[in-house]
Structure 1
């Protein structure tokens, strides 16, 4: 399965060496590029319903260690990158976006960090294009096939009950857009300043459609239950385990991602692998930036 398209990629620079946007498949993506230009590059992939600003406090700490960070507002989140078709949000397209950013920045490879859905993209990138991944640090998210296994054989379906509602048409956009602006994320543990930024980006049904399409592209009705097809098919992920140095950081009070899938993830990594368990919830970039940054730095320095 080809992850890199022949679509024209255009780099715009606000200052020499600083990437503020790139294009892929005719879409325009915003990027937050920070830290020293000659620092080891760390590419930060956000989750749902966040955006690239989730990494602000993590990035500050990485810059102090001399690292460069690139944090894109991903497909469905950048205003210029919101295709309507659900199929445009398959993992193949999402990974292609990351490869396009690396190309636009002139980077042969980078240290890849992903949280939540960004973690699923990071895992898939490491499988399909390991030569572009210097190291992998994933926050909260188990390996996709481990997650699919746990949904069928362990307790992950209980943690992921809300996903069945997300794939319905129209109503989820309206409900979640309202939740973005009424403080619901703060009640889930997200700091208010982060919620305000996320709400400014995703606080309308039209803006929420793209992020929800990530779920719709990954789940389909089958056998009376949701089938995690794009997370579990060897034709998508391949049969080979991850071959790059990897750290998985998980909060043991995460209400969305359970222990069974997290522990099974080790089966899918055949390289230096570290598992770090925190006494924390789901929102690790915003709530535990110091510990997250320390694990990223440790992984980078191990290279």
Structure 2
């Protein structure tokens, strides 16, 4: 009996060691990640917003500023688990046709920091964007985003209509779809601090493959960028521990939006089905001229099909 207990114990330890070797990936220091992924267009700024209760909240934000300062401004937001780098191909094309482009890392993601209370919301992210524009003395922007960033963009357009010249929604999260509160057990900081370290690159690669309509378009450089930025100190932990601000996001918020709006969707999006685009089209009375479905494309059109920016440029030309 004792012999078998020893064998079982040794087997368990061997399996545990193998599991750790295969799955454990420690955090990377913020300094290390920034050294690799800050660009020539990057800026870091400390901004302050208020909680719903009126408490001041500070946060460090990373954004990129591309183009001439005198050109019309476009502000774009990335999706969850991503960063502003995802929009660089679009930004380069937009700068070429005469726009200044701001790409902002949302709180808890990319090279931006976190709120001290570990609370997140579209409202907070939109308020951060508003304060960024105030700090840069920018009166109004064409705004938009992908996935989670799309939700921040439509909230911003409804909350700050005077700051919004137009809106583009790219495979955007509609009202009441976000479920980031997750499991209460995993939100325990101690548990999350351990569990979050067990996310190997091959796991993220499989997740990203599911976001692409054509996986041949997903290269190693893109996977490495997602993975290395995701490993920035405490980012993975925050993904597990953040809770949602106590605020409702109803379809009526979409009806508040008065800015011209364009809706873009990947036909092969398995993360947020194209059927959800109907919520935006019907609620905001968007014409067929201002919608596009990209055949063969998944959840990330700006990465998988960078030339999709041409449809957006055509929309901007129409509303000028």
TM range (shorter): 0.7 to 0.9
* Counterpart contact for 2:81–2:109, Cα < 8 Å: no
**Among candidates 57, 74, 88, match of residue 56 of structure 1:** 88
Where does residue 228 of structure 2 map in the other structure? 200
**Among candidates 265, 286, 303, match of residue 303 of structure 2:** 286
Change (3 A) 1:23 1:167: farther
**Among candidates 263, 268, 279, match of residue 264 of structure 1:** 279
1:130-141 equivalent positions in 2, closer than 5 A: 130-141=161-172
**Among candidates 123, 128, 153, match of residue 122 of structure 1:** 153
Unpaired stretches in structure 2, ≥5 consecutive residues = 1-40, 49-57, 213-217
1:90-118: CA deviation from partner (whole Å, max 9, x where unpaired): 22211111101111221111010200110
1:205-248: CA deviation from partner (whole Å, max 9, x where unpaired): 7222334566x417xxxxxxxxxx745358xx748432110001
* Counterpart contact for 1:130–1:244, Cα < 8 Å: yes
Change (3 A) 1:103 1:270: farther
* Counterpart contact for 2:148–2:173, Cα < 8 Å: no
Q: Give, in angstroms, the shift of residue 286 of structure 1.
A: 0.7
Q: Secondary structure at the match of 2:292?
A: strand
Q: Secondary structure at the match of 1:106?
A: coil
TM-score by length of 1: 0.74
Q: Give, in angstroms, the shift of residue 265 of structure 1.
A: 1.7
Where does residue 140 of structure 2 map in the other structure? 109
- For 1:22 and 1:92, locate their aligned partners in 2 and report how far apart those are by CA, in whole Å: 19
Q: Give, in angstroms, the shift of residue 56 of structure 1.
A: 1.3
Instruction: State how many pairs are aligned.
Output: 257
- For 1:167 and 1:299, locate their aligned partners in 2 and report how far apart those are by CA, in whole Å: 46
1:251-290: CA deviation from partner (whole Å, max 9, x where unpaired): 1111111233211222321576722111111111111111
**Among candidates 241, 244, 247, match of residue 217 of structure 1:** 244
Change (3 A) 1:166 1:183: farther
- For 1:67 and 1:54, locate their aligned partners in 2 and report how far apart those are by CA, in whole Å: 18
Q: CA RMSD in A?
A: 3.0
Q: Secondary structure at the match of 1:66?
A: coil
Q: Secondary structure at the match of 1:256?
A: coil
Q: Which runs of 4+ in 1 moved over 6 A?
A: none
- For 1:71 and 1:46, locate their aligned partners in 2 and report how far apart those are by CA, in whole Å: 8
1:162-201 equivalent positions in 2, closer than 5 A: 164=182, 168-169=186-187, 170=192, 173-175=196-198, 177-179=199-201, 183-188=205-210, 189=212, 190-201=218-229
TM-score by length of 2: 0.70
Q: Give, in angstroms, the shift of residue 85 of structure 1.
A: 2.7
* Counterpart contact for 1:191–1:286, Cα < 8 Å: no
Q: Which has the larger radius of gyration?
A: 2
Change (3 A) 1:263 1:233: closer
Q: Give, in angstroms, the shift of residue 23 of structure 1.
A: 2.1
Unpaired stretches in structure 1, ≥5 consecutive residues = 1-17, 149-159, 219-228
